[in-house]
Structure 1
């Protein structure tokens, strides 16, 4: 089992970074459009990409938040599907991992 305080710290740092990235994207999307119509077209062209990035970041925020909840509940490191232990190397590589490698491979 990995060192829980270290993993918790890593997850909290990751969560803070994800939230900061999300806030920057929200700021970019909320910027008023340039009065020049040709510039507006260019600015609006980026919105779908930014919205897609925001959706991915929201998913990551959810994964990291759930991992922090599992730490608080004392179930961190247990596969949420089968209950087996998640390999320490997997948790080291992906501290937010909720599935053991066997269950993750089955998806």
Structure 2
């Protein structure tokens, strides 16, 4: 049996950590660039990496929000594709996963 309260706490904690990280990324991206063109080129590359991390973080937040919605609906732990139960081990590893091992493959 899945302890949904425990999983909800884990998901909410991870979401809060991601929101903090995204705020730090936004703050870094809002900083002005140097006037030196060589340094600006390096800063531009760093910005691209930060933007990629930001997109990944937003995608994870979307997955977490969907998992929290499944918890609220009482559907957490059931594969959204086939309806089979997602193993507890898989949920411990990937708490936001909507798929059983077979459907994820």
Mapped partners of 1:28, 1:13: distance in 2? 23
**Cα shift at 1:37:** 3.5
The residue number in structure 2 matching 1:66 is: 66
Q: Structure 2: how far apart are the matches of 1:102 and 1:78?
A: 12
2:33 aligned with 1:11 = no
1:21-61 CA-to-partner distances (Å, cap 9, x unmatched) read 11111111111112334332221221111111111111111
Unmatched segments (≥5 aa) in structure 1: none
What CA deviation, in whole Å up to 9, does each residue of 1:50-79 have, x standing for no partner?
111111111111111110110011100000
The root-mean-square deviation of aligned C-alpha atoms, in Å, is 1.1
Distance 1:90 1:41 in 2: 42
1:41 maps to: 41
Say how many residue pairs are matched: 105
Q: TM-score, normalised by structure 1?
A: 0.91
Q: Structure 2 unaligned segments of length 5 or more: list them.
A: none
CA distance in 2, matches of 1:53, 1:93: 21
Q: TM-score, normalising length from structure 2?
A: 0.93
Q: Which residue of 1 aligns with 2:30?
A: 30
Aligned to 2:75: 75
Match of 2:55 in 1: 55
